[in-house]
Amino acid sequence: MLRFVSPDKSAALSLAVLPGAYLLGPDSVPIAGEVVVEGGVIRCVKGTREAAALALQVDLDTQRLASLDQSIVGNPIFDEIRLRPLGAWMLQTCLLPDRDRPYILALELARHRIMLFLTKLEDWQAFDIPPDSAVMRLFEVARETFTRALVESSTHSGRIEEASRLGYLALWIALEASERLALLITERDFGARMTGELYLSVSEDPGITKRAMPVLHPTRGGVVLPTKPAIGSLVSPGMLTEQTKVAAIESCDFITLPMRWVEMEPMEGEYAYTPTDQWIEWAIRSAKKPVVAGPVIDFRPASVPDWLYIWENDYETLRELVYEHLKSIVTRYRRTVSRWTVCSGLHCGEHFKLDFQQMIDLTRICVLVVRKLHARAKVQVEIVEPWGEYHTHDRKSLPPVLYAEMLTQSGIPIDTFSLRVQMGAPASGLCTRDLMAFSSMLDQYAMLDRPIAISAFGAPSGPIMSGQDTQVCPEAGFWRRRWTELSQADWMSAFGAVALAKPFVESICWHELADPNGVSEMRTGGLLDRRLEKREAYRRLVELRKGVELGVVPERVLEPGFLNLEPGHPQIDGVRS
């Protein structure tokens, strides 16, 4: 039996089922199971006796921090750095075997984060960071505190409350250290990536030309791209105004037209091309911006026309309709679109139930149709919920990394895998995570040896209330501060810089240029608000774009808002404040 005890009386522990919590097996693959709460004890119901890990959302808020603060007085590092609330993040434990005695949740969360920190030190080749740097000093305090918690839990009296308190303190400090490490590595790698120095150091080519091809990194895995990453934004077809035109020109290297099936073919056989045509004509003729189209095939409710649901249980007919729809769209826009996101989320199976063979077959059809009709275009397949939470509840689905690996092994000619990385909404796959978890996830997909694009990248500018059952739907969470326009901008700067510094990331695309009037995953996630006025996130995206051009990490990425230093605090051990 895998059980966890947590002395704190959070609201989540008063529920019968822990919302958003799920189980993981080896290689971070979600496994079937349920996470329930009985008498304050978290019990993991799984169909196997193999070791498993628990992932759940943890509130690292002001109230919890107040109960830990007295333990850090007297440590020299905290004369320089003051711990502050981190947010509400999805965290996980290590793989743990079943045992009769419950595990202490805080202790196991801290154990995993310390292990992840050491693993990424090796993966990122960062063992040369000075021991007296802020990052390493924080980590050593976290490790010492974790050791104290272990000793406390193993004493004869076994004081769970004290061990849990020390465990949360160790976790808190380790999380602060790990986010700082992710930013430190970003600062180290950003310039070498943008100038092409990194590519030249691992490539046999004497220089970078238009014909330069991605090469495999000899030590870190994944590909190294010869070109700088591009920054773009998704534009809704009905939002073509003078304000959105100016915003797209100033902030984007390219634009993405979603081409949702429900908008392109609202009635069977009747296409509505005009709004999309107007955006593409402006982008190509006036703005001179490349156009990315898609996902063309996307079975999420906001993208599927009502008439298509008639065929959701008739795969042969559905397959034929997909073929005809792709053929119509690609034939019309093949002279103007440079890159196609051909399909999205087929591995998830949340809406149209496909079996394993159908997922692979439909993906193959989508890719080959575009290859046949538009041979010169780049083709990418979009992966939703890249951490794969959905798979623990739907065993007929495919874990996202496994889906991508099987497409590669099947020989389907895909140029790029694209990821939807959205946080801060109360829905599956949209929970908030920290910088190291995000960076580590990107590294996992780099092992596919394909370029990675982030095709929907975003967070809200205000809290989003859940319209779903709170017993099942996870809370949205938040990063560092509650969601506001400023915290959205901070999130963009930090997470965007981490992604752009990766040598295998080809592009990032903000998920909405302007808040749409219709259905949206994040009603307040645009760079422009409903009045088409620029948010702070817009200015940060412009800064990121300039940073890519100059090969320098924008100063705001390492401002106090990210590192939680006091405003005006002097530089600490080479990490700018």
| Domain that includes residue 176, residue range | 2-186
Same domain? 164 vs 235 = no
Segment among 2-11, 55-64, 87-96, 265-274 with least mean pLDDT: 2-11
Length of the chain in terms of residues written = 577
Same domain? 176 vs 236 = no
Query: Using CA atoms, how far apart are residues 319 and 404, in angstroms rounded to an integer?
Result: 20
Amino acid 535: pLDDT: 96
> Does 570 reside within a domain?
no
Same domain? 233 vs 159 = no
Q: pLDDT digits over 149-198, tens only? A: 999 888 655 588 889 999 999 999 999 999 999 999 999 999 999 999 99
Same domain? 551 vs 423 = yes
Going along 294-397, which residue ranges are E strands? 297-298, 339-344, 378-383
Q: pLDDT digits over 301-316, tens only? A: 889 999 999 998 899 9
Pick the residue with more confidence: 241 or 566?
A: 241
Same domain? 140 vs 238 = no
Q: Choose among 451, 414, 454, 408: nearest CA to 226.
A: 451
> Does 139 reside within a domain?
yes
Same domain? 424 vs 494 = yes
> Does 209 reside within a domain?
no
Specify the amino acid at residue 289: K
> Does 390 reside within a domain?
yes
Using the predicted structure, report yes or no on whether residue 570 has a pLDDT greater than 80: no
> Does 260 reside within a domain?
yes
Neighbouring C-beta atoms of residue 540, cutoff 10 Å: 25
> Does 253 reside within a domain?
yes
What angle, rounded to 10 degrees, do the helices at 536-550 and 242-251 form? 30
Same domain? 165 vs 234 = no
Q: pLDDT digits over 502-555, tens only? A: 999 999 999 999 998 765 668 889 999 999 999 999 999 999 999 999 999 988
Rounded to the nearest integer, the mean pLDDT of the chain is 89
The residue from 186, 217, 244 where one domain ends is 186
Q: Cα angle vertex 285, ends 279, 291, to 5°? A: 50
Using the predicted structure, report yes or no on whether residue 39 has a pLDDT greater than 90: no
**Terminal-residue alpha carbon distance, the chain:** 46
Neighbouring C-beta atoms of residue 209, cutoff 10 Å: 9
Same domain? 242 vs 159 = no
Summarize the confidence of residues 444-469 as an average pLDDT: 86
Same domain? 232 vs 176 = no
Amino acid 521: pLDDT: 67
Same domain? 483 vs 542 = yes
Amino acid 394: pLDDT: 84
Torsion-angle region of 57 (φ positive above 0: left; ψ -120 to 50: alpha; else: beta): beta
Q: pLDDT digits over 387-418, tens only? A: 999 898 887 899 999 999 999 999 999 999 99
Amino acid 293: pLDDT: 97
Q: pLDDT digits over 345-386, tens only? A: 999 877 788 999 999 999 999 999 999 999 999 999 999 999
The answer to whether residues 85 and 61 touch, using CB atoms and an 8 Å cutoff, is yes
Same domain? 333 vs 432 = yes
The residue from 155, 186, 217 where one domain ends is 186
Q: How confident is the model at residue 565 (pLDDT cuts 50, 70, 90)?
A: very low
Percent of the chain with pLDDT over 70: 91
The residue from 128, 158, 186 where one domain ends is 186
> Does 569 reside within a domain?
no
SS3 543: helix
> Does 45 reside within a domain?
yes
Chain-centroid distance, C-alpha 395: 22
Using the predicted structure, report yes or no on whether residue 573 has a pLDDT greater than 60: no
Using the predicted structure, report yes or no on whether residue 575 has a pLDDT greater than 80: no
CA of 269: how far to CAs of 18, 257, 328, in Å? Answer: 45, 21, 10
Same domain? 233 vs 163 = no
Pick the residue with more confidence: 559 or 262?
A: 262
Q: pLDDT digits over 410-455, tens only? A: 999 999 999 999 999 888 889 999 999 999 999 999 999 999 999 9
Based on the structure, what is the number of domains in the chain?
2
The answer to whether residues 489 and 535 touch, using CB atoms and an 8 Å cutoff, is yes
